[in-house]
Each structure stands twice: as structure tokens, then as C-alpha cells.
Amino acid sequence: MEPAIKKSKMVNNKFKHGKKKYFQQSKKQVLQPGQRGFLVTCNMNEKACVRECYNLLNHYADELYGPEGESDESKQAANTEAGGESDSDDLDAAVAKCREVIAQRKQRFQNVDTGTTNCLFIRTQLDDPVALGKHIVNDIKDTGKAMSRFVLRLVPIESVCRANMPDIINAAGALFDKHFIKEATTYGIIFNHRYNQQIKRDTIIKELADLVNSKNVANKVDLHNAKKSIIVEVLRGWCLLSVVDNYLEFKKYNLAELANVNGQITNDVDDSKATETAEQETESTAAKSIENTVAAFEN
């Protein structure tokens, strides 16, 4: 008969082994090349900010595209389930199909880990996040209601790529084909970086300015009233790119400031401004750097 101590050790080892397998099954959603979505900054409460993002985005997506109803695939799966009750294989296939459709619906907006504090990325399956972003800021500007307390900025992102110059230029080239070829326009470059010192501000600004001018030589730089703003956000090893119309006019997509365009500042706005002081100083430095770089390039 085995001693009681040895037997308890065997039981404990078995329990630990099963517990280890259980925790290995959990996986986080991470940034990947080619994703689209929304870059969100918040004021220290990330969990509440994620919840607010889901509510906000789903509310306006339902207004713009209609509520999420049952798709044709879900209806077919339901019909298959109703007509094949006698066949267990068909029933299992129908249930699996329904679960797959429901899972896809839940992923219309999905929080993705960025590895940076107070900076979220909400991935979307929508083809054009910029259109939804415009709809949101237009409505907030007209109504004066931000519908958010923890969300500061909500910037649509059209492309995600690795944070190295070849990948950035390739992604930006495809993106600029949609915005800068057909007709001449004015543009500015908004560059921010977090936890990354390898991408140099002057280098990327010069490369992107050259790329824009190669699409249409009549494109001009305007840092104060640009019709199109090129958003470049570097987060660790990833670069988020987008081209947004009237970015400065819409308060850099700061929802709290848009809701108070008449100068009526609330307590929430005071908190937002205190949190974003460092970010605004960074963008001011970026604007001066763009001005100097473009002036030197034109000379």
C-alpha cells in the first residue's frame, strides 16, 4: 500500500497538469497586416473604453448600414436544421453553421491588443471604416452629444502593416492610389509613435511626401487647412495608416471637443484635455517637423 504522502503528491501533479493545459487554450487577438479598424485613445480606463467603443460603433453602424439581421447563410442553416431532424449528421452540420455565422457577427467590431497603454485598436470587418468615422464625427458635431465618457479620439484606420520602411511605403502606395491620383488636393502628414524609436520622423515624412507628389505633381502641402490628412501611427512594431478628410476641422477626431464646439467645457472634457496634453505637444512638434522637411525638400 502506497504511503498517504506519495499518493497526495500524485493527485496534485495530475491536477497541475490539467490546469496548465486549460490556460494554454486562451489566446489574445493581436494586430495583423491588412487589418482595418479604429485607433482609440482613452483616459486610463481601458475596459470601460472598450465597452463604450462597442456601443458607439454598433449604434452608428446600425444607422448607416442597417441593423444586423439574419444573413442568407444563417437562414439556410436554420432551414436545414428544421428539415433534417431525422438525420443527426445534417442537424450537427446546421448547428455548426449557425454557430459560425453568430461568431462572424460578433466579430464585426473586435478589440485587438496593441501592447500600449491607453491606446486601443478596434478591428472591423467593414470595407470602409473611414465612411463610418465620418458619419460619427458629423453626427456628434451636429448634435453636440458625444455619447462617450472614456473614449477620447476615434480615428479610422484603413491599413495595418509592419513598422519598417519597405512595408510602410508599399501599404501607403496602395492607399494613396485611392486618394491622390484623380484630382489635385492639399494634404498634411500627422505622425505619432509609441514605444518605437526606429522609425524616424523626418525620414518617413520625406518618403511619404515624395510618394504623394509622385501620384499627382499638383498635390500641395497645407499643414493648417489640409483637405486630406495622412495619419501615420506607429505602435511598437506596427504601423497604422489612413487618409482622412478635414481631420483638423473635426478636431482631430476628438469626440469630446467635437461635442463642445461652442466652448462649453464639461468636466469630462477637462479630464480629456488633461490626459491628452502630452499627445497634443507631440503633434505640434510633428507639424513643425513636417513644415521644415517639406520646405527643405521644395528648396
The pLDDT of residue 290? 57
- The rounded distance, in Å, linking the Cα atoms of 53 and 46 is 10
- The rounded distance, in Å, linking the Cα atoms of 192 and 238 is 12
Q: pLDDT tens for residues 234-292? A: 999 999 999 999 999 999 999 989 988 644 444 444 444 444 554 555 455 555 555 55
Classify burial at 60, counting beta carbons within 10 Å of its beta carbon; exposed 0-12, middle 13-18, buried 19 or more.
middle
pLDDT classification of 96: cutoffs 50, 70, 90: confident
- The rounded distance, in Å, linking the Cα atoms of 33 and 239 is 9
Q: Is the pTM of this model over 0.75?
A: no
> 64, 135 in Cβ contact below 8 A?
yes
158 vs 1, 88, 127, 201, CA distance in Å? 68, 44, 9, 21
The amino acid occupying position 13 is N
pLDDT for residue 53 is more than 80: yes
For residue 166, the Cα-to-chain-centroid distance in whole angstroms is 22
At residue 267, what are phi and psi to the nearest 5 degrees? -65, -35
Determine the straight-line distance between the first and last CA of the chain, rounded to whole angstroms: 92
User: Domain residues of the chain, as ranges?
Assistant: 36-63+106-259
73 three-state secondary structure: helix
Strands, E, within 64-185: which ranges?
109-112, 119-124, 151-157, 159-162
The residue length of the chain stands at 299
CATH topology of domain 36-63+106-259: VC0802-like (3.30.2130)
> 150, 224 in Cβ contact below 8 A?
no
Quick one: cell of 207?
Answer: 518618403
Quick one: cell of 3?
Answer: 504511503
pLDDT for residue 155 is more than 50: yes
283 vs 64, 102, 118, 248, 287, CA distance in Å? 31, 41, 17, 12, 6
